[in-house]
Amino acid sequence: MPRPSTSRSSVALDNLRAVVILIVLAFHSVLAYVEWIPSRSSGFSDPPYGWRAFPIIDAHRWFGFDLFCAWQDVYLMSLMFFLSGLFVWPSVQRKQSFRYARDRLARLGIPFAFGLLVLVPMALYPAYLASTANPSLSDYAHRYLALPFVPNGQLWFLWQLLGLNLVAAAIYFIAPNVLRALGRWSGAAGQRPVYYFAVLVVVSAVAYVPLALFFTPWAWSNSGVLSVQWCRPLLYAVYFFAGIGVGTAGLDIGLIAAEGALARRWKLWLGVALMSLFGWMGVTSQTLDGPAPVVIDVAADFMFVVACAGGCFFLIASSLRFGLHRSSLGASLSANAYSLYLVHYSFVVWLQYTLLTSSLFAPFKGAIVFGVALTASWFTVLAVQRVPLGSLLLAAPPRVPNREAPSSGGAYARIQQIDSQ
């Protein structure tokens, strides 16, 4: 069977997936060391349950991590939803709605359930240990089960992504021409990145600003099985369907064309990303010390969506400009990105807890947590691939002989491999 030809855009997207999972691991690895978070003022069982965002809080801090984490919090998850949407059209077109929905339920739902039952309780045990004078496993289990919500950890991304996939499948079943029309618009608009950026910002503002004003930009749900940050679900839906539109148009057409206008002007998008980020930080700083005038809140929320789009455009543009060469290391990271996302959190939190009593400077602690967590997570995923049930529980890609490896086909071939599970 001949292997599909290489697409330069597909290579760049594969490399971008690898970069994104590294950023995710780095983000979680240094959260314990940001200066912005106050010392823990409540126990494991007491509101506002700050350990959900910061399971471990170290006495050693570094402001550089504040800047890094603030930027990633603005755009990173939206970019992940965008990348997830890119391959919906070829998959749903090949499988049709019901098979696609069934496969998404297995691919996302089974790891989510396994994560809630096993991975998240294991990851959050150090948060309990750090906040309790006389810890015990039985007391942890009692307190954990008595919480008014089911902690999702990093797995909230999975259920929201699953929901959006099911919506996309329903739209394809009821009115497939809607997705085709979105693809035609995306293909044409993507050739003018500034225009596409402006439309994305406007639509994102409509989806995000009203919810952020009503719920605040920081509030999470405090009940139920599914964790949600109230102001962001519609924003993530915008980026997911933006990805569907771009993917429907074709990877080598419009916005993510390797030789397109976005890639050529990556320096412009670096400037947009940085200026919008610092603009958002400047306005948001006026809202942190108590109630602010509504106009300030609106400005902060609007600058958030501008910075979000700016960060996404810069990462995509720089990948299209510099990520056109394939490497075995990057290919492995890309192929295993989903599985790494699932398993890394336990390693990160346990390592942060282990280093609590160390006198090392915060940058060194962050580097140690990142390096060890990445290595341990990667080896875990590679080991799980050898277990028949592993691909279901941890979404590990199947091991295939070299002659069948999809690496030369880029992202389209890889999504076919993943969807076949």
Lowest mean pLDDT among 98-107, 370-379, 393-402: 393-402
What's the whole-number mean pLDDT along residues 234-241?
98
Query: Is residue 256 included in any domain, yes or no?
Result: yes
Q: Which of 287, 302, 147 is nearest to 227 (CA)?
A: 147
> How crowded is the C-beta side of 236, counted as CA atoms within 13 Å?
22
Using the 8-state DSSP alphabet, how is residue 33 labeled?
Answer: G
The pLDDT of 234-255, averaged and rounded, is: 94
Residue 41 is predicted with a pLDDT of: 66
Instruction: Name the β-bridge partners of 149.
Output: 224
10 Å CB burial of residue 342 (0-12, 13-18, 19+) is: buried
Q: Which two tokens stand for residue 344?
A: 């890394």
Angstrom distance (rounded) from CA 33 to CA 17: 26
In this predicted structure, the answer to whether residue 421 has a pLDDT above a threshold of 50 is no
215 confidence band (pLDDT: 50, 70, 90)? very high
pLDDT class for 254, splitting at 50, 70, 90? confident
Share of the chain above pLDDT 70, in %: 93
Structural domain harbouring 62: 8-419
Buried b (16+ CB within 10 A) or exposed e, 77-110: bbbbbbbbbbbbbbbbeebebeebbebbeebbeb
Q: How confident is the model at residue 417 (pLDDT cuts 50, 70, 90)?
A: very low
Q: Looking at the predicted structure, is the pLDDT value of residue 409 above 80?
A: no
pLDDT at 412: 44
Q: Residue 2's pLDDT is what?
A: 38
Residue environment code for 20-56, b if the CB has 16+ CB neighbours within 10 A, otherwise e: bbbbbbbbbbbbbbbeebeebeeebbeeebbbbebbb
Q: Which are the contacts of 333, defined by CB distance < 8 A and separation ≥ 6?
A: 17, 18, 21, 22, 340
pLDDT per residue as tens digits for the range 26-84: 999 999 999 988 877 678 999 889 999 999 999 999 999 999 999 999 999 999 999 99
pLDDT recorded at residue 142: 95
In a domain, 3, yes or no: no
Q: State residue 14's pLDDT score.
A: 94
Distances (CA, A) of 236 to 19, 115, 171, 179, 243: 20, 22, 17, 17, 11
With cut-offs at 50, 70 and 90, classify the pLDDT of residue 398.
Answer: low
What pLDDT score does 418 carry? Answer: 42
Q: How confident is the model at residue 399 (pLDDT cuts 50, 70, 90)?
A: low
- 328, 415, 386: which is closest to 15 by C-alpha? 328
User: pLDDT grade, residue 367 (50/70/90)?
Assistant: very high
Residue closest to 247 by CA, chosen among 104, 93, 97: 93
Name the pLDDT band for 408 (thresholds 50, 70, 90).
Answer: very low
pLDDT tens, residue by residue, 322-337: 999 989 999 999 999 9
Is 1 a member of any domain? no
pLDDT at 77: 98
Q: How many domains does the chain have?
A: 1
What are the structure tokens assigned to 281, written together?
Answer: 């930080």
- At 368 the pLDDT is 98
In the predicted structure, residue 346 carries a pLDDT above the cut 80: yes
Instruction: Identify the DSSP state of 53.
Output: T
pLDDT of 186 strictly over 90: yes
Handedness of CA 31, 34, 37, 39 (dihedral sign): positive
Q: Considering the domain boundaries, does residue 46 fall inside one?
A: yes
In which band, very low, low, confident or very high, does the pLDDT at 90 lie, cut at 50, 70 and 90?
A: very high
pLDDT reading at 289 higher than 90: no
Confirm whether 2 is domain-assigned: no
